[in-house]
Structure 1
Amino acid sequence: MPHMLIFGMGYTAGRLADHLRSAGWQVTGTRREPINGAIAFDDKPAVLKALSEATHILSSVPPARDGSEPVLNDYGEAIANARLDWSGYLSSTGVYGDTGGAWVDEQSPIGTGRRVARSAADAHWQQLRDNMSVFRLPGIYGPGRSPLTRVRDGKAKRIDVPGQFFSRIHVDDIVSAVIASFAGAPGVYNITDDRPAAQHEVIAYAARLIGVEVPRLLTLDEANLSKMAMGFYEENRRVTSGKAKRLLDWEPAFPDYKIGLAALLEQA
């Protein structure tokens, strides 16, 4: 039986775990606290035992606030030396920084934007093992976490930043890409949909889809965003996932946000 060890059983990793278990896999996950069947990240004997039994490992743990990489710091050597059929890391397209709206692919430089720690972690994971797959992910949406939810809750803001684009991906398309990589070539892959768009366009479409008033368009000053949220609007890029399509034979089931949001509404 294949055995996946996942560091960080969050939203995306939990979705992958559910899919693998339904396909007959054994899945072990770590969390800060040992809840929902996961083992505590700091329980080193239990984690090392799971690692010794795993055939596949995936980390979805981002760098800590101080820039350190918890999984690599605590378990990097053990992961590097483990006998594994596959290993993976969920990174971010934020490693590309600001390109003024230009397209980026896996050959584009990283480390120039606000995600310096993430860029360093991305590079370290690439070097850890020969069979490492690194998935660079944009904004993630899916069941229970989407513009539809924010619009319904009255928390969605439409912010006008002329010429600003961002890419996104449905959580189930991340799951399918990770699974496709089990039989594919290791390496770095952007996993995105095919339609980068302005944030305010996505919110407007979500509002129309559920039949509520479209929130008015705000300037950045009017939006009164936190410093962290402001950082999102300081970068502008469009991300292509052509490499994953070519080498992993992967195609997103939700190639643009309109298809993805409409599917979520049908499932609700």
Structure 2
Amino acid sequence: MTQQLFCFGLGFTARQIAADYPEWEVLGTSRTPPLDGETGEFSIFPFRRGSPIADFSNLARDVSHILLSIPPDDRGDPVYDEMREQIAGLPNLKWIGYLSTTGVYGDLGGDWVDEESPYNPTGKRGERRMQAEKAWRGLYETRGLPLHIFRLPGIYGPGRNQLVSLKNGKARRIVKPGQVFSRIHVADLAAILVASMQKPNPGAIYNVADDEPAPPQDVVSYAAELLGVVPPPLVDFEAADLSPMARSFYSDSKRVSNSKIKSELGISLKFPTYREGLAALLPGETRI
């Protein structure tokens, strides 16, 4: 029997699910149409703050799973604000996944975090995600909403990776001593979400990351090696010409444990490090 997944924010991750898991009927909201050559089938509906989805209770009456990936704004989570009552009233709902960020943990100076680590956001984005998590958890606690929270690092995959950045001349090797980031290939993220859908555990929180947190300049260097090009020069973080937003990403340094997705969901990563991930992406990216 076909199961219906409704995605608030039918973006990079949701479209990967549609491509990799054709047994799912995928519906969702999006500001952009499908890309040329994109695989997977899905239906798109308009949604924005102040304009909830018309007749959602009827069009989503058969929806069994919901994915929430629209980020909060300065007023809060727009899906929570506009759609929470309609979502809570769906008769066949078995699973809700909220895509949050590891930014809610803040800066750990390169130390490890797991799902029991406390909130400690250092910037506005992390603070907003923390508040959104708490809002959705409130519906789980008071109304039994089948909520699952996934805390994500940087996501990469086809068309969105350091191979492309090098090709476009946008890759930089910024060096900040002790800085490490975690990351996840979008295909592994899709597999993790589907594994959770198949084994619901309402109230659960999962960190999502591959096996090797790494300095960002190392990833650029490896991508350049795969392409057979000279990597861009190393640039000291303090001297780097970065936008305030780009600079803010370097405020947090931590290593994200992925033990729980393996022990509870039985995940075996297809791309356990950025090396396997970038090597697999190489044939599909245009060489310089």
Classify the TM-score, shorter chain: over 0.9
Q: Deviations over 1:165-193 (max 9, x none)?
A: 11000000010000100222231101100
C-alpha deviation, 1:39, in angstroms = 0.7
2:107 to 81, 95, 98: 98
1:189 to 202, 206, 221: 206
Q: Deviations over 1:52-93 (max 9, x none)?
A: 2211111111101x1411000001122223230111111111
Q: Closer, same or farther in 2 for the Cα pair 1:32/1:111, shift >3 Å?
A: farther
Amino acid of the residue matched to residue 101 of structure 1? G
Matches for 1:211-222 after TM superposition, within 5 Å: 211-222=228-239
CA–CA distance in structure 1, aligned partners of residues 110 and 54 of structure 2: 47
> 2:161: which partner in 1?
146
1:167 to 174, 177, 182: 182
CA contact (8 A) 1:5 1:50 kept: no
> 2:39: which partner in 1?
none
Amino acid of the residue matched to residue 81 of structure 1? G
Q: Deviations over 1:138-196 (max 9, x none)?
A: 00000000011001111101011011111000000010000100222231101100000
CA contact (8 A) 2:97 2:148 kept: yes
> 1:263: which partner in 2?
280
Does residue 53 of structure 1 match 2:53? no
CA–CA distance in structure 1, aligned partners of residues 100 and 255 of structure 2: 16
CA contact (8 A) 1:195 1:255 kept: yes
Matches for 1:1-268 after TM superposition, within 5 Å: 1-20=2-21, 22-23=22-23, 25-32=24-31, 35-36=33-34, 37-41=43-47, 42-64=51-73, 66-83=74-91, 84-114=93-123, 115-129=126-140, 130=144, 131-184=146-199, 185-186=201-202, 187-268=204-285
CA–CA distance in structure 2, aligned partners of residues 46 and 19 of structure 1: 29
Say how many residue pairs are matched: 264
Query: Any unmatched runs of 5+ in structure 1?
Result: none
Amino acid of the residue matched to residue 48 of structure 1? S
Q: Closer, same or farther in 2 for the Cα pair 1:192/1:40, shift >3 Å?
A: same
CA contact (8 A) 1:91 1:135 kept: yes
Amino acid of the residue matched to residue 75 of structure 1? M
Give the TM-score normalised by the residue count of structure 2: 0.87
Amino acid of the residue matched to residue 219 of structure 2? V
Amino acid of the residue matched to residue 82 of structure 1? L
C-alpha deviation, 1:32, in angstroms = 4.3
CA–CA distance in structure 2, aligned partners of residues 89 and 260 of structure 1: 24
Say what the alpha-carbon RMSD is for the aligned residues: 1.6
Q: Secondary structure at the match of 1:265?
A: helix
Identity %: 43
Query: Any unmatched runs of 5+ in structure 2?
Result: 35-42
